[in-house]
């Protein structure tokens, strides 16, 4: 949510920020609605003052025995009361329209975000690892012989439809091992607090984390109003919604492993084979709530946490900063970490780490009290995948595939797999 005072103070800068995203200017529409709302509030206050003045004069007129004046004033009080009530309703309606308008306007990009139209304009800032060389043509994850017995799309389609998978046996165990490894690393080495969060949330949580009203079609809502989380960013971030924290409590660093649900409304025909793009998937999420002065450094820390998982797994990756045209709605700056997938001969996103500044905090009214005194300030919120478990499974399987259809698994997973480090061509751990 944008600060209306900042728009009033510098509408040109607001429109310039929107232009960087390829969005039309909005300051005139916002300020016109804001002016109408403020004028209605002022008119209601004036009418209320007239009502109060007349109310005081009613008693005096009655005491003087001036019945005509008494009746006039009593009628005036009644009329003013109705006028104030009507104006307050109109002011509330204008306020709701203004809030809805502001809620649909994307966040301003940070100054260092590269200008661009789409993912082709993203800028690589780091690459790590040597891409594996094969003496055979590498295949995609679902084509590897050792993977096929444990990656069942047909049964999933029978039970649930397209874009679902049923993992079985050794593949399911490797998937679980990856999630556990990620959580353990974030808690034991990166200092995050583990949270077991709900995956059903209220409208307020979706709104506060900028998923509503603009992106309701991308998520699933139950018949009784709860939303299935598109990411555990929603419950983790909204856990401070409406709170005024002590500055000493910052930063708050959280992580959770949850199911996530997305309709993939705009993805028809994309990534239909395999488990790259699913309606239901698992993700380990990182969320930080910070002091505004620390949020940029915190984003770099979170990027390092996500990169560290891939480095421990031995998966080559690159990190890119997204351009203005490719950033998400609520992001101020986003880094994508893309894992190398030999079967597609390309990098694919496995984590996005974003800072929203105070954009989400304003929507959910999350503040902190400065230690030196003064008015409460909005916190900054950040979120990032640490990592998408299914996509990480894809990267591990494809990078570790062998000519005989087996898969060499990362050594760091051995403690989670009973010491075993190979998925055989028959689909069992050895």
- Report, as residue numbers or ranges, the catalytic residues: 262, 277, 349, 352, 391
The confidence score (pLDDT) of residue 268 equals 65
Token duo for residue 358:
């105070």
Q: In what order do the strands lie in the sheet with 317-321?
A: 123-128, 317-321, 333-341, 346-355, 380-388, 280-290, 252-261, 193-194
Q: Provide the strand spans (E) within 172-321.
A: 193-194, 200-201, 220-221, 227-228, 244-246, 252-261, 280-290, 317-321
Residue 147 has pLDDT above 90, yes or no: yes
What single string gives the DSSP state of each residue in 295-323? HHHHHHHHHHHHHHHHHHHT--EEEEEPP
Closest CA to 241 of 381, 374, 96: 381
pLDDT of residue 286: 99
The pLDDT of 320-345, averaged and rounded, is 98
Q: Pairing state of beta strands 317-321 and 123-128?
A: antiparallel
Amino acid 188: pLDDT: 99
151 touches 167 (CB < 8 A) = yes
| Mean pLDDT within 40-58 | 92
Distance, in Å, from the CA atom of 64 to the CA atom of 123, rounded to the nearest integer, reads 82
pTM higher than 0.85, yes or no? yes
User: What is the predicted pLDDT for the residue at 270?
Assistant: 72
pLDDT digits (tens, 9 = 90+) for 169-203: 999 999 999 999 999 999 999 999 999 999 999 99
Q: What is the largest CA-CA distance in the chain?
A: 109
CA atoms within 13 A on the CB side of 161: 4
What is d(CA 55, CA 77) in angstroms, rounded to the nearest whole number? 6
Give the pLDDT confidence score for residue 326 in this predicted structure: 98
Q: Quick one: what percent of the chain has pLDDT higher than 90?
A: 91
Residue 97 CB partners (closer than 8 Å, separation 6+): 33
Distances (CA, A) of 64 to 42, 184, 235, 292: 33, 83, 65, 63
Q: What pLDDT does 266 receive?
A: 65
Quote the pLDDT of residue 413.
99
pLDDT band per the 50, 70, 90 thresholds, residue 265: low
Range with the lowest mean pLDDT among 191-200, 272-281, 388-397?
272-281
pLDDT for residue 384 = 99
The residue among 217 and 60 whose pLDDT is bigger is 217
List, in order of start, the domains of the chain with CATH numbers: 4-103 (1.10.287.40), 119-423 (3.30.930.10)
* Res 272 pLDDT > 80: no
Task: Tell me if 236 sits within 8 A of 195, measured CB to CB.
Answer: yes
pLDDT at 58: 83
Average confidence (pLDDT) over 153-168: 97
| Contact between residue 387 and residue 183 where contact means Cβ atoms under 8 Å apart | no
Q: Give the tens place of pLDDT for each residue, 122-142.
A: 999 999 999 999 999 999 999
């Amino acid at each position: 949510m944008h600060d209306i005072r900042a728009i009033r103070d510098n509408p040109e800068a607001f429109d310039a920020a929107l232009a960087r995203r390829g969005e039309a200017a909005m300051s005139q529409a916002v300020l016109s609605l804001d002016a109408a709302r403020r004028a209605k509030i002022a008119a209601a206050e004036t009418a209320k003052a007239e009502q109060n003045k007349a109310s005081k004069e009613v008693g005096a007129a009655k005491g003087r025995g001036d019945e005509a004046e008494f009746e006039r004033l009593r009628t005036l009080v009644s009329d003013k009361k109705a006028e104030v009530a009507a104006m307050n309703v109109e002011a509330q309606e204008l306020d709701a329209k203004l809030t809805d308008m502001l809620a649909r306007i994307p966040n301003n990009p940070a100054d260092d975000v590269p200008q661009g139209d789409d993912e082709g304009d993203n800028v690589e800032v780091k690459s790590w690892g040597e891409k594996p060389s094969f003496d055979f043509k590498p295949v995609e994850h679902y084509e590897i012989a050792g993977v096929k017995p444990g990656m069942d799309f047909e049964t999933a389609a029978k039970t649930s439809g397209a874009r679902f998978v049923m993992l079985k046996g050794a593949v399911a165990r490797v998937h679980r091992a990856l999630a556990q490894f990620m959580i353990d690393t974030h808690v034991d080495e990166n200092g995050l607090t583990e949270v077991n969060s709900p995956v059903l949330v209220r409208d307020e949580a979706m709104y506060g984390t900028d998923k509503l009203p603009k992106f309701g079609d991308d998520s699933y809502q139950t018949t009784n109003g709860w939303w299935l989380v598109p990411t555990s960013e929603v419950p983790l971030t909204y856990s401070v919604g409406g709170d005024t924290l002590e500055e000493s409590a910052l930063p708050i660093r959280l992580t959770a492993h949850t199911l996530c649900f997305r309709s993939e409304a705009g993805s028809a025909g994309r990534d239909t084979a395999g488990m790259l793009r699913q309606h239901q998937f698992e993700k380990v999420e990182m969320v930080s709530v910070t002091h505004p002065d620390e949020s940029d450094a915190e984003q770099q820390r979170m990027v390092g946490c996500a990169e560290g998982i891939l480095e421990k797994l031995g998966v080559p990756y690159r990190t890119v900063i997204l351009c203005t045209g490719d950033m998400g709605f609520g992001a101020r700056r986003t880094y994508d970490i893309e894992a190398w997938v030999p079967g597609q001969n390309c990098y694919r996103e496995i984590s996005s780490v974003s800072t929203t500044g105070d954009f989400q905090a304003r929507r959910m009214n999350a503040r902190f009290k400065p230690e030196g005194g003064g008015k409460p300030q909005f916190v900054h919120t950040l979120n990032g995948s640490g990592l998408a478990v299914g996509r990480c499974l894809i990267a591990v399987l494809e990078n570790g595939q062998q000519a005989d259809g087996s898969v060499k698994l990362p050594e760091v997973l051995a403690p989670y797999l009973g010491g075993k480090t190979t998925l055989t061509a028959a689909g069992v751990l050895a």
